[in-house]
């Protein structure tokens, strides 16, 4: 059974509160440091949206005595992060492209497919 685009818009997907992605959090931390924000406060803000594993990756980049080295390490980390983009293509040709954390993207993809919507994942 297929659903029209309007019917699918009224269906809700159960998803947690959207937090910044890991990539977004690292980018914001870099920007904050470049703008001379307090490293301790900036990293605390970044950590609030991340898993312990992601927090540890950031912590390993931070050199409290050398801001330049911290920025270099964070930029390298940023370049290594891939994000999961869920693409849903509706029968009317409209396409939704949304970034989700990896652990949520599979459930979102399954939900689209369960509803009869052509959907796939791209890494960015």
Quick one: pLDDT at residue 11? 46
User: How confident is the model over 47-72, as pLDDT tens digits?
Assistant: 998 989 999 999 999 998 999 999 99
Strands (E), the chain: 84-89, 95-100, 118-123
Check if the beta carbon of residue 34 is closer than 8 Å to that of residue 78: no
CA distances from 14 to 11, 37, 93 (A): 10, 36, 24
Average pLDDT per 10 consecutive residues for the chain, totaling 124 residues: 49 56 93 94 91 94 93 95 90 90 86 94 87
């Amino acid at each position: 059974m297929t659903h029209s685009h309007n019917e699918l818009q009224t269906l809700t997907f159960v998803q947690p509160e959207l937090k910044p992605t890991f990539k977004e959090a690292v980018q914001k931390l870099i920007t904050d440091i470049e703008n001379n924000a307090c490293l301790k406060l900036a990293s605390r803000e970044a950590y609030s949206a991340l898993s312990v594993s992601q927090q540890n990756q950031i912590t390993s980049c931070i050199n409290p005595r050398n801001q330049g080295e911290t920025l270099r390490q964070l930029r390298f980390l940023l370049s290594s992060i891939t994000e999961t983009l869920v693409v849903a293509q509706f029968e009317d040709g409209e396409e939704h492209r949304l970034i989700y954390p990896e652990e949520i993207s599979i459930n979102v993809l399954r939900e689209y497919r369960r509803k009869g919507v052509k959907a796939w994942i791209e890494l960015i």
